[in-house]
Chain A
Amino acid sequence: EVQLVQSGAEVKKPGESLKISCKGSGYSFTSYWIGWVRQMPGKGLEWMGIIYPGDSDTRYSPSFQGQVTISADKSISTAYLQWSSLKASDTAMYYCACTYYYDSSGYYRFDYWGQGTLVTVSS
């Protein structure tokens, strides 16, 4: 069974850095794309970007390019989302999600989701 387990909630101050994680289990980590989706409080879903852990091919939404960094460590089946300098507007729930790399249309959807990591940025 494919499972994605995300790191716990974070409370940070503006300007601080942060790296949250998403650990995959129950499947071959390098056979799936892993992506990140933002959900601001009371708002809808936003696609942030995606990585293929097999070769670290990473693609960002134009809205998030330069604002966050997506990475993965295939040796421990874990993907990451990081910020170098948080802003109050980064306050949101962040979900990781994955989809089978070898499915020709898998790239266009997310089949499995993590439970979410709540990031709160406040002075």
Chain B
Amino acid sequence: QSALTQPRSVSGSPGQSVTISCTGTSSDVGGYNYVSWYQQHPGKAPKLMIYDVSKRPSGVPDRFSGSKSGNTASLTISGLQAEDEADYYCCSYAGSYTSRVFGGGTKLTVL
């Protein structure tokens, strides 16, 4: 299966909001409410930020929110902070026990 499509990079100034999109098909993003988002700082392991499209794990700031419309999921980060600068990956279930697909990743730069 093909990777989900994410912008290669986005940027914003401290305090601003940014949105990262994740576009798939009706066979993955559009077909299931199992989209998750991961944050990865350089040289570190990924960290779960959003799951089931819009749920936040305990400990993740409410500045992070997720949504979905059709075949596109989105991660919005409001009140940008310097520590939010990282790579972000979306991931979706794709319809079988063994099928998961990640996006190519988006590099967020906090200006």
Please report A residues at the B interface, Cβ cutoff 8 Å: 37, 44-47, 49, 59-62, 65, 95, 97, 105, 108-111, 113-116
Contact = CB atoms under 8 A, between A and B. Distances in A.
Contacts of B103: 44
Contacts, number: 60
Interface in B4-57: 32, 34, 36, 38, 40, 45-48, 51-52, 57
Contacts of B47: 113
Interface residues of B, number: 25
Contact of A44 (B36, B51, B57, B89): B89
A109 B45 contact: no
A46 B102 contact: yes
B50 to A, nearest CB: 9
Interface of B: 3, 32, 34, 36, 38, 40, 45-48, 51-52, 57, 89, 91, 93, 97-105
